[in-house]
């Protein structure tokens, strides 16, 4: 299968663009072998849905199980490599006067691909926080019964991600909203557009006059408002897009 065609209107928009923003979701990490949020969970986690595990209530109910789910995911991500989609986005950074990357992902693969100043709406799976105090921890006290404990108060340690029912960082969200609405072109890559408030960013961008592009093999609630849809996988589509740049 040849590389995806980039429509001429999109090529023109990118040529004229001073600022470009990208909003990515777990679909961009799929080609790295990291399951998306709505893929069936595999192995021992098959019977759980992420929405049931990624909540403060689940952690309070069963800290060991939730902690071990994150340890399993951390290992998966450490064994994964950034793919051509991550690399194309990292390369785009140097091609526009203004470029911002906003991600819903917590896997850190954009940073490993070379992207800088990544706005992580939902935190990062490799950070550790005290569940009681909310502060970030650099060292943990191992305990016989996982999760490890906070060295200050002895509380259980949790991953530094935003769980369902938890508020995003106001600062990060404001900066992400501005990045999307200030952009001449917004590339929305690999997201089902179901998780709010992140899923509302493309509509805000569109309302402010941004040219919105969706890159996703499947249609989503964002497809209807996109000016261009590249119904393709992120890797090949973003590689073609990068090659079409002046
Ligand atoms: C909030 C970190 C205010 C954790 C994540 C009831 C009570 C409380 C809140 C709510 C409620 N009802 C609704 C809400 C709001 C809730 C929400 O939106 N729920 C959804 C399920 C309806 N949101 C929240 O709770 C947010 N906080 O609202 O705060 C508040 C506070 C208190 C009380 C009320 C409100 C917090 C949301 C953040 C949750 N944390 N991650 C962790 O990772 O463990 S979200 C999680 O989903 C991931 O970060 C993931 O990125 C994100 C979104 O999913 P997607 O990235 O879109 O991934 P998905 O699998 O869905 O789709 C993949 C897509 O890729 C597909 O479209 C597929 O076609 C495509 N694809 C596949 N392969 C490829 C590809 N695309 C390109 N190339 C490929 N190769």
* Domains in the chain: boundaries: 1-34+81-122+167-246, 35-79+125-161
Tell me which residue has its CA closest to atom 37 in ligand 1. Answer: 164
Q: What is the pLDDT of residue 43?
A: 67
Q: What is the pLDDT of residue 38?
A: 76
Q: What is the pLDDT of residue 47?
A: 77
Q: Which of 1, 23, 26, 82 to mutate to test the pocket of ligand 1 (most atoms within 8 A of CB)?
A: 26
Q: What is the pLDDT of residue 227?
A: 98
Q: Which residues are catalytic?
A: 122
SS (H, E, C) 78-90: HHCCCCHHHHHHH
- Taking the C-alpha atoms of residue 101 and residue 186, their distance in angstroms, rounded to an integer, is 10
At a CB cut-off of 8 Å and minimum separation 6, what does 143 contact?
149
Asked if residue 130 lies in contact with residue 150, where contact means CB atoms within 8 angstroms, the answer is yes
1-34+81-122+167-246 CATH fold: Rossmann fold (3.40.50)
Say what the pTM is.
0.96
How confident is the prediction along the chain (246 residues), in pLDDT tens digits per residue? Answer: 577 889 999 999 999 999 999 999 999 999 999 988 877 676 667 778 888 899 999 999 999 999 999 999 999 999 999 999 999 999 999 999 999 999 999 999 999 999 999 999 999 999 999 999 999 999 999 999 999 999 999 999 999 999 999 999 999 999 999 999 999 999 999 999 999 999 999 999 999 999 999 999 999 999 999 999 999 999 999 999 999 998
What are 190's two structure tokens? 């690999």
What are 164's two structure tokens? 């369902």
What are 38's two structure tokens? 């709505």
Tell me which residue has its CA closest to atom 46 in ligand 1. Answer: 37
Measured in Å, residue 35 CA sits from the centre of ligand 1 at: 14
Q: What is the pLDDT of residue 246?
A: 83
Measured in Å, residue 145 CA sits from the centre of ligand 1 at: 30
Q: What is the pLDDT of residue 223?
A: 98
Measured in Å, residue 228 CA sits from the centre of ligand 1 at: 23
Task: Tell me the torsion sign for CA atoms 129, 130, 136, 140.
Answer: negative
What string of DSSP letters covers 108-138?
Answer: -HHHHHT--S-EETTEEEEEEEETTT--B-S
- Taking the C-alpha atoms of residue 46 and residue 131, their distance in angstroms, rounded to an integer, is 26
Tell me which residue has its CA closest to atom 69 in ligand 1. Answer: 218
Q: Find out whether the beta carbon of 26 lies less than 6 Å from any atom of ligand 1.
A: yes
35-79+125-161 CATH fold: SIR2/SIRT2 'Small Domain' (3.30.1600)
Would residue 154 be called left, alpha or beta, if left means φ above 0 and alpha means ψ between -120 and 50 degrees? left
pLDDT digits (tens, 9 = 90+) for 161-188: 999 999 999 999 999 999 999 999 999 9
């Amino acid at each position: 299968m040849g590389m995806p065609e980039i429509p001429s209107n999109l090529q023109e928009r990118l040529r004229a663009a001073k600022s470009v923003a990208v909003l990515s979701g777990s679909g961009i990490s799929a080609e790295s072998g990291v399951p998306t949020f709505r893929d069936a969970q595999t192995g021992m986690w098959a019977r759980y849905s992420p929405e049931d595990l990624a909540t403060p209530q689940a952690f309070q109910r069963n800290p060991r199980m939730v902690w071990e789910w994150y340890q399993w995911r951390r290992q998966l991500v450490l064994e994964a490599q950034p793919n051509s989609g991550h690399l194309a986005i990292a390369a785009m950074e140097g091609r526009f006067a203004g470029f911002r990357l906003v991600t819903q992902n917590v896997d850190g693969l954009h940073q490993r691909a070379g992207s800088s100043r990544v706005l992580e709406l939902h935190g990062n799976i490799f950070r550790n926080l005290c569940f009681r105090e909310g502060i970030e921890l650099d060292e943990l006290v191992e305990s016989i019964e996982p999760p490890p404990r906070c060295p200050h108060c002895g509380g259980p340690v949790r991953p530094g991600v935003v769980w369902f029912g938890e508020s995003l960082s106001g600062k990060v969200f404001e900066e992400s909203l501005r990045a999307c609405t200030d952009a001449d072109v917004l590339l929305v890559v690999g997201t089902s557009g179901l998780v709010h408030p992140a899923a509302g960013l493309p509509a805000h961008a569109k309302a402010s006059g941004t040219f919105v592009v969706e890159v996703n093999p499947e249609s989503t609630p964002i497809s209807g408002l996109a000016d261009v849809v590249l119904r393709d996988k992120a890797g090949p589509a973003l590689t073609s897009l990068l090659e079409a740049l002046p």
